[in-house]
Amino acid sequence: MRSIAFFFVAVLLAAVLGAQEQKPVPKNSVRVFVPGCSKGYVFTAARPAEDRPGGAVVPEGTHLRMNGPKEMMKEIKGQEGSMIEITGLIKKGQIAQDGVAVGKGVRITGATPPTGGSSVAIDPSAGQIMIDVEGWRRVLGECPSR
């Protein structure tokens, strides 16, 4: 009798866990799966896995500014030096970058010079791609040493 009750509880638990789905993606965002390496709050994308379907492709060498729950960010920080894959949401249009690619993670873009002799305040987050991290996992591979 105990084994039947245990089996029933196990089946019920599996059904509840299977019913949990990812949050819906907002209309102005896209869910991505990005392998790479982290350093602080910056994540550098590695070559996308060919066996990973779905999500948008983030070019190798792209730097992403991670945003997520404090506990998750602490876990990711503990993985520095190890290859991981993060899952998260990026606003549409951030991945398509302006300019011309001249090397791994390097792009040349045009700039408009300031007019009228006024000083221009530079926003340090301008041009950075932000990702709202939903989760992460370890993957095979090593991070390049710097």
Question: What does pTM read for this prediction?
Answer: 0.66
72 or 49, which is more confident? 72
Q: What tens digit of pLDDT does each residue of 77-117 get?
A: 999 999 999 999 999 888 765 566 666 556 666 555 555 55
Domain ranges of the chain: 22-102+127-146
Q: Are 105 and 61 in contact (CB under 8 A)?
A: yes
pLDDT value of residue 6: 47
Nearby residues of 46 by Cβ (< 8 Å), 6 or more positions away = 35, 36, 37, 60, 83, 141
pLDDT value of residue 17: 43
If we measure between CA atoms, which residue out of 92, 86, 72, 85 comes closest to residue 26?
92
Q: In this structure, which CATH number among 2.115.10, 3.40.630, 2.40.50, 1.20.120 belongs to the domain 22-102+127-146?
A: 2.40.50
Side chain identity, residue 28: N
Q: What tens digit of pLDDT does each residue of 46-70 get?
A: 987 676 665 567 888 999 999 999 9
Side chain identity, residue 75: E
pLDDT, mean over the chain: 76
Helix or strand run (H / E) with residue 69: none
